[in-house]
């Protein structure tokens, strides 16, 4: 973005000051995360930069902690559990969140604000409170310390993200398209599949990605509902920090960071595609 030629000294000062401040804020937020990545390649078992790393000595860097990550059965179990739980919770949250968003998009829905606040309450209520409530409720149903209970719990936490993204997509949706499909003889299911779904698909996928990231990142719920066989990556990292500090944790964190970056890039691509489909961007 360039400044217009008529911008005066005060305007230029303000423009570059705001951009500089924004850059500093971005660096403040991102730098602690980026520090983890080079530390995961440390040849020494330390959580700090060695003199060799500061000199960029190749001998000071190694992939040993990534190899340890692949050889440790507990870490492999944690990765499998996280993937299984995240996929199951994402599918369930996407289904429930999409249906809820479609209902909330109806203009004649009574108590819409109350329903919306209730459905997104898992985002507002502290996770420790939700986890405690889930523990007492799921224990009575026999869902504690098994994968199904964790999938349901993570779906509860991920559903609000799907509701918000799909609802935002439906704001610009022209409901006359659905009525036109019905007037041409399409059933409600066929009209949704062929007309509504292609338009709101970017919002659904974006919400699903946010739900998956939430599941991968959740550690508190697993502490309450998970057993030894349901150990996930966040719980394994937490246990490693308490029992045996090892750069293997940094290697796992680096993989999670890279995965999150890929998901964010995909979300941005889908967001721009959604704007193009709705005619809000070229």
CA distance 201 to 171: 14
274: confidence class by pLDDT, cuts 50, 70, 90: low
Cα separation, 130 vs 122, whole angstroms = 7
Task: Provide CB contacts within 8 A for 13, sequence distance 6+.
Answer: none
- Confidence class for position 281, pLDDT limits 50, 70, 90: low
125 three-class SS: coil
Average pLDDT over residues 71-76: 86
Which pLDDT band, with edges at 50, 70 and 90, does 87 fall under?
very high
Q: Is residue 224 over pLDDT 70?
A: yes
Residues in the chain: 282
Q: Model pTM?
A: 0.79
pLDDT digits (tens, 9 = 90+) for 131-176: 888 888 888 888 888 888 899 999 999 999 999 888 888 877 777 7
What is the per-residue pLDDT across 108-129, written as a single tens digit (0 to 9) for each? 778 878 888 888 888 888 888 8
Assigned superfamily of 72-245: MetI-like (1.10.3720.10)
Mean pLDDT calculated for residue range 29-57: 82
Distances from the Cα of 10 to the Cα of 1, 3, 16, 21, 74, angstroms = 18, 12, 10, 16, 59
Question: What is the domain partition of the chain in residue ranges?
Answer: 72-245
**Cα separations (Å) of 54 from 30, 38, 43, 109, 226?**
20, 11, 13, 61, 41
Q: What is the DSSP string of 44-72?
A: SS-SS--HHHHTT-GGGB-SHHHHHHHH-
């Amino acid at each position: 973005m360039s400044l217009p030629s008529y911008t005066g000294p005060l305007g230029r000062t303000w423009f570059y000051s705001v951009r500089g401040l924004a850059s500093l804020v971005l660096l403040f937020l991102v730098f602690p995360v980026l520090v983890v990545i080079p530390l995961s390649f440390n040849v020494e078992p330390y959580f700090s930069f060695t003199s060799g790393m500061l000199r960029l000595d190749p001998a000071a860097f190694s992939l040993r902690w990534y190899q340890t990550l692949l050889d440790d059965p507990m870490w492999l179990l944690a990765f499998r559990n996280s993937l299984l739980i995240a996929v199951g919770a994402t599918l369930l949250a996407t289904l429930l969140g999409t249906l809820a968003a479609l209902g909330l998009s109806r203009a004649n829905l009574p108590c819409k604000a109350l329903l919306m606040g209730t459905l997104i309450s898992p985002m507002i209520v502290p996770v420790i409170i939700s986890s405690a409530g889930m523990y007492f409720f799921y224990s009575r149903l026999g869902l504690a310390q098994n994968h199904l209970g964790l999938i349901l719990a993570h779906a509860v936490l991920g559903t609000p993200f799907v509701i918000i993204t799909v609802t935002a997509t439906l704001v610009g949706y022209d409901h006359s398209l659905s009525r036109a499909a019905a007037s041409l003889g399409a059933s409600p299911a066929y009209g949704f599949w062929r007309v509504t779904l292609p338009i709101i698909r970017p919002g659904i996928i974006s919400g699903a990605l946010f739900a998956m990231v939430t599941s991968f990142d959740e550690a508190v719920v697993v502490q309450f509902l998970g057993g030894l066989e349901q150990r996930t990556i966040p719980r394994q990292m937490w246990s490693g920090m308490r029992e045996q500090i090892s750069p293997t944790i940094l290697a796992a964190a680096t993989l999670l960071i890279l995965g999150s970056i890929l998901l964010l890039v995909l979300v941005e691509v889908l967001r721009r595609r959604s704007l193009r489909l709705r005619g809000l961007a070229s």
